[in-house]
Amino acid sequence: MSNYKLVYFDGRGRAETIRYIFKLAGVKFEDKRYEMSDWPAVKPTIPTFQLPMLEIDGKIILQSKSMIMYLARKHNLYGKDEFEGMCIDMIIDTADDVVPPWDLIFFSTTEEEKAKHTKNFQEVEVPLIYSRLERLRALEHMHAGDYFVSNKLTAADLHFASMVEVANVYFPNSLAKFPVLKAVFDRVVSNPVIAEWRKVRPVTPW
């Protein structure tokens, strides 16, 4: 069994899908969380100057989606073949598009700017991303059923659920007008392992 250390900020953000996979796989990992005040000193020591970073037996890996794909493949959350894996990637990439417009709000420097980006996030960006997800899920070859791909819980559903939680920070109850997606989200968070982790995980604003 490998030794895993996941390094991120004290938040869910881009790290939570990775934590979900570890929890579902029953794999122990060190959940190292830096405070934002630590970051200026830590940043130059990270090869990409960004987090999350994953250490696997001391080997350093960057890029959250690379980690998700590797761990999902390893722990049977990546479909039954390459084609399903690609369909899962398609959902992961689409859901991940929540982050850039979210960052615009997070990094706003004035209240006016924040209000403008929040309005655009709620009225344009998130509804567009959710519509794309709904339409992709409905493609016949996704065999979606209760989940996004192949009627089984995969990394696609986990990343979708993480990104909904990201969206909800600046758009509470963002799934209200998307009942089909809301049902998928509810299935993910009612998985007993995920539900237990969500009960005990650190409470953080994002």
Ligand X SMILES: N[C@@H](CCC(=O)N[C@@H](CS)C(=O)NCC(=O)O)C(=O)O
- Identity at 44, one-letter amino acid code: P
For residues 129 and 116, give the distance between their C-alpha atoms in angstroms, rounded to a whole number: 19
In DSSP terms, which residues pair with 145 in a beta bridge? none
Buried-state track 147-163, b at ≥16 Cβ within 10 A, e below 16: bbbbebbbbbbbbbbbb
> Which among 58-66, 69-77, 139-147, 150-158 is the span making contact with ligand X, rule CB under 6 A?
58-66
- Segment near ligand X (CB under 6 A), from 62-70, 116-124, 132-140, 164-172? 62-70
Residue pointed to by tokens 């929540």 = 98
Q: Is 204 in the site for ligand X (CB under 6 A)?
A: no
Question: Smallest distance, Å, CB 200 to ligand X?
Answer: 22
12: contact with ligand X by CB under 6 A:
no
Residue 93 near residue 17, CB atoms below 8 Å: no
Among 33, 65, 116, 187, binds ligand X (CB under 6 A): 65
Q: Would you call 54 exposed, middle or buried from its count of C-beta atoms within 10 A (0-12, 13-18, 19+)?
A: buried
Does residue 198 bind ligand X (CB under 6 A)?
Answer: no
Position 63 contacts ligand X (CB under 6 A)? yes
Q: Residues binding ligand X: what is the number (CB under 6 A)?
A: 9
Report how far residue 5's alpha carbon sits from residue 27's, in angstroms, rounded to the nearest whole number.
11
Report the site for ligand X in 128-187 (rule: CB under 6 A). none
- Candidate residues 4, 7, 12, 14; the one interacting with ligand X per rule CB under 6 A: 14
Q: Which of 2, 3, 50, 190 binds ligand X (CB under 6 A)?
A: 50
- φ, ψ at 63 (rounded to 5°): 85, 110
- Of 64 and 150, which CB lies nearer to ligand X in the complex structure? 64
